Chain A
């Protein structure tokens, strides 16, 4: 009985979230297509031709998985952070709080929304990449799918936690600007960490985005700077920590109950 009620509630939040980002598709789905086209043109075609190969692949092919992953990360995060914070700001989060919806269901619904947007954006960016890369061979589809789902889940959870703590709209842009962007750019999207000198390679391995980009690149191209098993374990570990954090915050009513 309770499980069927929870399932309906989960589905409702998910539909509501998908309806939200599809309603404003010009703001949510078009910008990643334009941004990534520019990346492909500038870094792939113009600069890439002068770089030659990276990780044993033409530079354009090398950056495709990284750019897809970059879109997945930013869209998962911003979707959940802005949607949950808006719900808090407009107080329509109370619609869920007064109903018999458990924190796990709220998390599941919002993360599901972030995941849906990230997957649509990933497909759009992949389609854009076909305009620039001649032969796209997928090395391991399972690793590819698992990585994109786990990464999107991870950053959706991160966006949710950010929104729970946020008090103003500025608070939900600080993390993407000062944390996510540097981590993504330094996470091996545009280069192999083997190019980094000595100690910097070790430091780069502390960046969780590196594991996501490389696991995804392995699924795509069969090349990776890190062990794929370790990469997946790291992503799963972060997911667990963030889920427990988000669950505890919602259960306590942090930032949403007085």
Chain B
């Protein structure tokens, strides 16, 4: 069954700004789906329409078969939303926020209190249950919004940049938690600016730019289209302390970063062995090697630039 199905979705804001130009999108039940795009691409508008915070101009949206126009209450019950910005009452306590949210979905207060213990403990917020939300750190506020979205036990969790401004350690723990609940059967749609996040967590991906879906496929398939990667080599110093001065690499495009570091563009057909062979022949030791950029990031930039070319040409 499809967790989300969107057909011909259009949105024009008052004043004529076109946010969505008629997008089609499907997300299967149980999927971990990434919706990527640059700022102003239409991601938040799409999420806003699905969660009924934004009125659509045209098109059809169904969530687990429930239609946005005719079965709104049923549709809303399927969704848990974690918005980009903190949108809870800063003066309410952590537990009040989550229990009240469950109440809006018709969860009786006693049941909501029991569930609040479960989810606040899972998200390491139980000790803070009686603290006003304004006293929480940024990371805690993000986790509070996840707990709030889960309390009515939705089948589809939508997260709009959930790890923005969160430190690396906390981000990793949030990833683990999201992976866990996805394994338990909750379908997750994620928008993020951290492409590493999408690559690590998500199975399928849609890239949206200027109100149009420019790519919709699996992450694996998308990464397979990547022909060239740039590697950074850290080299051991030689006697002159300038390892890269006399270095040559036949058949590769490469650049000197500093006296001990080079960047090499390697096409898939070339392989890395030839680089190592040539460095060995010149008696150069490689201390370490890494990808210059996140692989998905390169693809993302390429796709967005490619998608904009006709418009730019016509301008």
Contact = CB atoms under 8 A, between A and B. Distances in A.
Given A94-B83, A99-B101, A100-B77, A8 B88 contact: no
A96 interface: yes
A9 B106 contact: yes
Given A12-B109, A258-B48, A101 B89 contact: no
> Dominant SS at the B interface?
loop
B51 A98 contact: yes
A90 to B, nearest CB: 6
Most interface-central of B89, B92, B108, B109 (chain A CB within 10 A): B89
B177 interface: no
A100 B74 CA distance: 8
Contacts of A6: 106
Contacts of B152: 99
Most interface-central of A20, A87, A99 (chain B CB within 10 A): A99
B53 A94 contact: yes
A19 interface: yes
Nearest to A91: B87
A23 B106 CA distance: 25
Interface residues of B, number: 35
A4 interface: yes
A100 B107 CA distance: 11
Contacts of B54: 257-258
Given A9-B104, A94-B53, A257-B54, A100 B76 contact: yes
Interface in B180-211: none
Interface string A1-25: 0101110110111011001100100
A19 B96 contact: yes
B79 interface: yes
Interface string B61-95: 00000000000111011010101010111111000
B47 to A, nearest CB: 10
Nearest to B105: A99
Interface in A85-103: 86-87, 90-92, 94-101
Given A5-B106, A87-B89, A92-B88, A98 B100 contact: no
Most interface-central of B14, B54, B74, B91 (chain A CB within 10 A): B91
B52 interface: yes
B103 interface: yes
A225 B14 CA distance: 50
B96 A98 contact: no
B147 to A, nearest CB: 13
A16 B81 contact: no
A13 to B, nearest CB: 8
Contact of A91 (B85, B91, B100): B85
Nearest to A101: B104
A181 to B, nearest CB: 28
Contact of B72 (A23, A94, A100): A100
A56 B207 CA distance: 79
A94 B92 CA distance: 15
B252 interface: no
Contacts of A255: none
B14 to A, nearest CB: 8
A2 B108 CA distance: 13
B77 A92 contact: no
Interface of B: 13-14, 48, 51-55, 72-74, 76-77, 79, 81, 83, 85, 87-92, 96, 100-101, 103-109, 148, 152
Interface of A: 2, 4-6, 8-9, 11-13, 15-16, 19-20, 23, 86-87, 90-92, 94-101, 253, 257-258
11 contacts: A5-B105, A9-B104, A9-B106, A12-B103, A19-B96, A20-B91, A91-B85, A92-B87, A94-B83, A98-B51, A257-B52
Given A12-B104, A100-B72, A258-B54, 16 more contacts: A5-B106, A8-B103, A8-B108, A9-B103, A9-B105, A12-B109, A13-B104, A19-B92, A20-B91, A94-B87, A95-B104, A98-B79, A99-B76, A99-B152, A101-B104, A258-B13
